[in-house]
Structure 1
Amino acid sequence: MRLLRSGLLSAVVLVVLASFGEVAPAGATSSEEAPVVQEITTLLHPGLNEVGWVSEETASSALFDALPELIAVSAWDASERRARRALRGKYEELPTLKPGMGLWLRIGGSVSVEWTRPVTADGILLSLQRGSNLIAWTTSGEVANALSKFEGAVTGAWRWDPARRAYARYELDSSTAAGGLPQPQPGEALWVSASKTVHWWQPGTDRPELVFLDGVSEGKQDELIEDMEIIRAAYAEYFGVQTSAFTAYIGGSVEAIAPAYRQVTGRELPDVITRADPPETCGTVSSGAVFVLTYCAGIPSFTGKGATHILAHEYFHVLQQQLASDRGTEGPTWLLEGTALYAEHLASETFDPYSARQAASWGDGMLGNAIRRAATHWSEFPISLPDIETYSAFHTAEGIFGTYDHYQVALLGAKWLADRAGEQALADYYRLLPSVDHWHDAFESAFGISIADFYEAFATYPDELGPRNRVRGVVNGPDGGPLEGVRVTAHRLSLHGYRDYDARSFREAPIDVETWTDEHGAFEMWVRPGRYFFVVSRADPKPAIVDGALPDTHVSERECDLAIRTDRGLTGWSGPRESSDLYELVGTTNIWAAITIPSNVASFGRSFCAEP
């Protein structure tokens, strides 16, 4: 494994030379294709030329050997904001050319020269520094489109016109270039101005191998192949690291992936996957290979992208292991799992339309929703981060929702650290592990706080995220007796102001909190301030769409508007519809309700707000 650290463009690319999991079980299909070797030919004119270095890392002297007409090569050091130059026989200032560099080549003589060189298959990850950057252009398409994803962080782009011997600026808000300047071709270079440091992934031809086992349809295979590249790009740009050197085995059941796991690792599947039916744990990483179930209890199937979520989670574990070499499992298991869950949710807006719609409608996607859910449940979790440092404790300690508790607390820990040190620090911790004596040292270097001080500061963190409100009640059946195991979910309508539901928007509403009734039919949940729609389900079908709003009723001193909505033909929640007798207010924001599920429906609900 070799890690290309900060160079003249501070490019960061993780390249692993050895691929794991090369055994494909009989009957499996694979996404692996023959490697494609690409070449680029550039016409170099006498005088100054601006080009991109798109080949493997190479000594500067090799470029002079390949181009007898070359007089000088220069590159821009964005970190130090100065040019570095190499002359024939004098390479000390610029000894190495690295993928992603933009270069000035001064060609002697009076005749143009054709220069052909290979393109690296690994892809190029650029780290644009604040200020000016001279970078290689390896992609195709329009400059404005390629840079639009940085949402204003990239403020300008210029291209050298050798015929005019001048720079022309691209208009980043349109597809045309100033002065009729054409769009750049792969292998050319651009000057790019940035207002802050951003990562930019330009993919190559290398891809991880995805081996599809029984139970994965052709349509799902195509979808996962496409989604894998979206995830790689997202992690590269969020965390400054990527790799294609792994194999993923994807199957529709434990029986499908067990033989592949045995072939690759020489062991049986771990107990965390096999101990429940259906499995609660949906994926694992071992011997550098990823194993994913496309269906299990832990997959968020309502988004239609459940398997991609698991693939994203396990891919981050691959990055952790490869960054940390053989020390990837050192340190707290809550940090290992919490950062992977954070990364999965963070990237979900790029591959999951459900999360993207949440972000567009509510201002954040699954990450923000997951943080709120975890913080809301905080007081219910019977564990703390120090309790789940070890692998054994994390996966065996009892919680009210099994190991779901542990993942949620771990996610909050990762969120606290990302807020303090930045999201890239979540990967930097694993990058630092090989160079320290103890994981405590890597933790303090990456996050700027000792583990002891972090635990002390984190103890009150979820409460700092805002107030909570208690909702409790009893669910009875048609005969009046209590129902055990009924699912109650709180769907957030809005954090800022009321928004009516229709059939379309209801399916887009995120679930903030869920719980189940006990043997007495009782339930209790805590929700953050906002407006919610509550659904009560004896099974887990698609929730019923509601209509027929009744007049608003004030139910607290803070005049929280209560909008009762019920299914046609249902009496709704038991008790008077417009009477405070229906609610036992604890303080001013907590409510109690008795609920009766009619015999002819699976679920129903109503909405109200819980103001701070």
Structure 2
Amino acid sequence: MLPSGEYWSRGLLGVLTAVVLLWALASGVGTALAASDTVTTELRPGWNLAGWTEDEASVETLFAAIPQLVVAYAWDADLQRYRLAYRDGESAFGDLETLSPGIGLWLFLEGEETVAWERPLVLQAGLAELRRGWNLVTWAGDDGIATGVALAELEGILLEALGGDGSAPQTLEQGRPVWLRVSSAKQWWQLNPAPHIEFRGEFTPEQMRERRAYVDDVVAFFVRRHGVVVPGLTVLFGDEKADMTCGGYAARTLFIRNLCITALPHEYSHAVQEYLAVRDSEGKWGGVRGEARLGPSWLSEGAANYAAAVYEDLNGTGSLKQWNADALDIGLANGNSLEAIETDMGVGGD
């Protein structure tokens, strides 16, 4: 639910742009952090540790990009073992078939010359799906950051962090993987701080863990599917806003009532809409000039409802097919004229 008045008074053009951008990103193709964002890793003859920072691709793409490459290994964190691909003429063979953004790779190069491997750095490379045990994860954040700062989000589950030489790294290099051993699974977002979470009222430690994990999962969904993340958000769990049915979004804050945590995907969608409408060329929060008016609720709420339905379908808690059928029935029964829908900003908000 989008609040009206002082909290949400963006121009119609901004809202339309945001919704169009959101669903244009829904193809799942990665979005570079900026139009020119790339990362370059120096590869020497012999063994090298480097990360895949591009969109998901077949392993043949890797061999085509690095002609000197003979063998590639990737760590399967689910199975806690390596997968292998090797060059045979123009083809690649082995059980490593697909490269996902952010995976770490051991690469063996033949020859005697150093290779500068330049490739795109997409947003999805900054989302690491950590599994209990060892993980080989590419660092996609700031180059040269102190390891302790970079890994602060893993406090409480991080057991070991090792570089390719088996020693604890003092800093992390963008595009280079790091070995992480963790005590439990986590979706680790590297590129900017995760939403700040506040609890108002009585929550057990287990309830707080559940809600933190749910926030991580929703953020990860929008990164994976839409290639977008909203910086600088606060998520407030509690019942102090009595005027809410389940949740709301205003002033970069998501309000979620205690018994309504499943409202989070819908409300995060509204944060995405506002952010895409006002962000500047550097991806920071900006502003929209012009007449302050409420965007069409049928569009902003409809897009948020659909995003939440897709999320629930993917995690098995709902059916997108049934949601589409129900939405069609509601649409066919709508007595509003097309002119009213196009001109009345309030139509469809209930």
Query: Shorter-normalised TM-score: what interval?
Result: 0.5 to 0.7
Structure 2 counterpart of 1:76: 75
Equivalent-residue separation in structure 2 for 1:431 and 1:108 (angstroms): 44
From 237, 255, 268, the equivalent of 2:216 is: 237
Asked if the contact 1:133/1:191 (under 8 Å) is kept, the reply is yes
**Closer, same or farther: CA 243–50 of 1 in aligned 2, 3 Å:** same
2:299 aligned with 1:340 = no
Q: CA RMSD in A?
A: 4.4
2:87 aligned with 1:108 = no
Structure 1 counterpart of 2:181: 193
Equivalent-residue separation in structure 2 for 1:155 and 1:36 (angstroms): 36
Where in structure 2 are the equivalents of 1:312-323 lying within 5 Å? 313=256
Asked if the contact 1:125/1:240 (under 8 Å) is kept, the reply is no
Structure 2 counterpart of 1:610: none
How far residue 431 of structure 1 moved from its aligned partner, in angstroms, is 1.6
From 316, 326, 329, the equivalent of 1:432 is: 316
TM-score when normalising by structure 1: 0.32
Asked if the contact 1:199/1:236 (under 8 Å) is kept, the reply is no
How far residue 114 of structure 1 moved from its aligned partner, in angstroms, is 0.8
Structure 1 counterpart of 2:339: none
Overall identity of the aligned pairs, in %: 30
Structure 1 counterpart of 2:277: none
Equivalent-residue separation in structure 2 for 1:68 and 1:53 (angstroms): 16
Where in structure 2 are the equivalents of 1:383-462 lying within 5 Å? 431-433=315-317
Structure 1 counterpart of 2:168: 169
**Closer, same or farther: CA 435–35 of 1 in aligned 2, 3 Å:** same
How far residue 55 of structure 1 moved from its aligned partner, in angstroms, is 1.0
Asked if the contact 1:46/1:106 (under 8 Å) is kept, the reply is yes
Asked if the contact 2:54/2:125 (under 8 Å) is kept, the reply is no
| Structure 2, unpaired ranges of 5+ | 1-9, 22-32, 198-211, 231-241, 268-310, 324-350
How far residue 100 of structure 1 moved from its aligned partner, in angstroms, is 1.4
Q: Which string of whole-angstrom CA distances, capped at 9 and with x for unpartnered residues, describes residues 268-309 of structure 1?
A: xxxxxxxxxxx934998xxxxxx85x5xxxxxxxxxxxx444
3-state DSSP of counterpart to 2:221: coil
**Closer, same or farther: CA 123–94 of 1 in aligned 2, 3 Å:** closer
Q: Which has the larger radius of gyration?
A: 1
Task: Tell me which amino acid in the other structure corresponds to 1:152.
Answer: G
Equivalent-residue separation in structure 2 for 1:247 and 1:75 (angstroms): 27
Q: Larger RCO: Structure 1 or Structure 2 (Cα < 8 Å, ≥ 6 residues apart)?
A: 2
2:190 aligned with 1:202 = yes
**Closer, same or farther: CA 133–282 of 1 in aligned 2, 3 Å:** same
Structure 1 counterpart of 2:38: 39
Structure 2 counterpart of 1:134: 136
Asked if the contact 2:52/2:99 (under 8 Å) is kept, the reply is yes
Equivalent-residue separation in structure 1 for 2:265 and 2:104 (angstroms): 34
Q: Which string of whole-angstrom CA distances, capped at 9 and with x for unpartnered residues, describes residues 384-408 of structure 1?
A: xxxxxxxxxxxxxxxxxxxxxxxxx
How far residue 237 of structure 1 moved from its aligned partner, in angstroms, is 3.0
Where in structure 2 are the equivalents of 1:207-606 lying within 5 Å? 237=216, 241-243=220-222, 245=226, 280-281=243-244, 292=249, 294=250, 307-309=251-253, 311=254, 313=256, 337-340=260-263, 431-433=315-317
How far residue 312 of structure 1 moved from its aligned partner, in angstroms, is 5.4
3-state DSSP of counterpart to 1:55: coil
| Structure 1, unpaired ranges of 5+ | 1-22, 161-165, 171-176, 178-182, 205-225, 249-278, 285-290, 295-306, 315-333, 345-426, 440-612
**Closer, same or farther: CA 243–342 of 1 in aligned 2, 3 Å:** closer
TM-score when normalising by structure 2: 0.53
Equivalent-residue separation in structure 1 for 2:45 and 2:97 (angstroms): 24
